[in-house]
Structure 1
């Protein structure tokens, strides 16, 4: 009986992982039919496209402020400030503060493109292969892991200067002073530059992820070149093959009685 239960456990585990193994193996086989240069160039083109099309939007006026996906709101620890100010008819002060931190983000993102270009240039074939194999947001994650430190170093002083130049630092000082002078409230403070810098970086990667998904799913004809169609078309073939294989496995198992596993 123990042997039968062990056999059942092993079979269940095997069935659970088979589709994933097949999918990756299938994609590896297909990639091997493409030249290393073609795979690398295809992924580089996809990243360049994401940077050019999506990140550039953030540098425009209202690129952050009127984009709900990336709009920077008040830090969590001072949201009570916003609520309190609005409750006493001072919502215009909070609105001005939010507008100005988004303006600072829009200014800082102009520094991102050279950093991303360097990261794309330094991509190896193995990097490109892993991005293609891992799917979903793998390209975005590659950029995030290879550029975050450099982006923070570039963004932070620009944001600090921008907050100062547009008067955001004074607006926020006024916001905190007004709030902290209210009776029966706990005084608050926050590192505004650090907060806006991190939120700006998050917004940049969210927009790159949008374009990556568009290309992987070919939404709106996002695979706009023959190279993108060929390289990312490998995913389509593999997904289809994986689904077909998984269906065949399930149908085969349905034909067998589970009690066959317990036969001596």
Structure 2
């Protein structure tokens, strides 16, 4: 069984038009998706002291996600308001991660020993991790995935890329030639395997020698919330399984990309990133 740890953000996604909210946040989603895919998973993040935080903790426990290394701080948990436009989620007001933004994770020696017991680490630009903590995660010797989303800056790319093994970037709306050039740039900065996700146009991976294009799978789209996180989760777990099976090169990348596309299509049919609707507060 593969083991994944997600370090970073948990929020509630509020849908005012529907009167409900759902657990969410990049790393919370990844940790739950890993369980759905049959892996052992953990979430290491910061919970606030409000009802949203308690609800998220309860959902993680129900889903079988390990949360023993999480922090608790006084204050509002993270939230983001969401509007659905033809099934595509559009973010509105948010509170910058709540306590996750106010109390960024500082990894302890005990945390690092714990993290070394996993097969893969997942983090993102939304995790509010200080850049020096990303370097520390990389020093654990466990493959580190980092989602730059579309919120990166050139400076952040330069500083972080050398310390991640898989760099995911959102390139929706960017043409294919520019996407290829961007992945070459990211690889030159020190990221061995950059991956561009392009929504309904699929994904593109560059390993320093070759490009691998993955078409999107057909999906009945209800809500695109979690599509990127689900792609990343399935990709990472398939990659970890492939390493254990002795796969490498094109064989392992093709399988990982296909797994990501299949699972992302499935998640697009779900309301909210992981379900578990709650009355809007």
Question: With structure 1 as the length reference, what TM-score do the two structures score?
Answer: 0.23
Bigger helix fraction: 1
Higher relative contact order (CA 8 A, sep 6+): 1
Question: With structure 2 as the length reference, what TM-score do the two structures score?
Answer: 0.22
Bigger strand fraction: 2
Which structure has the greater CA radius of gyration?
1
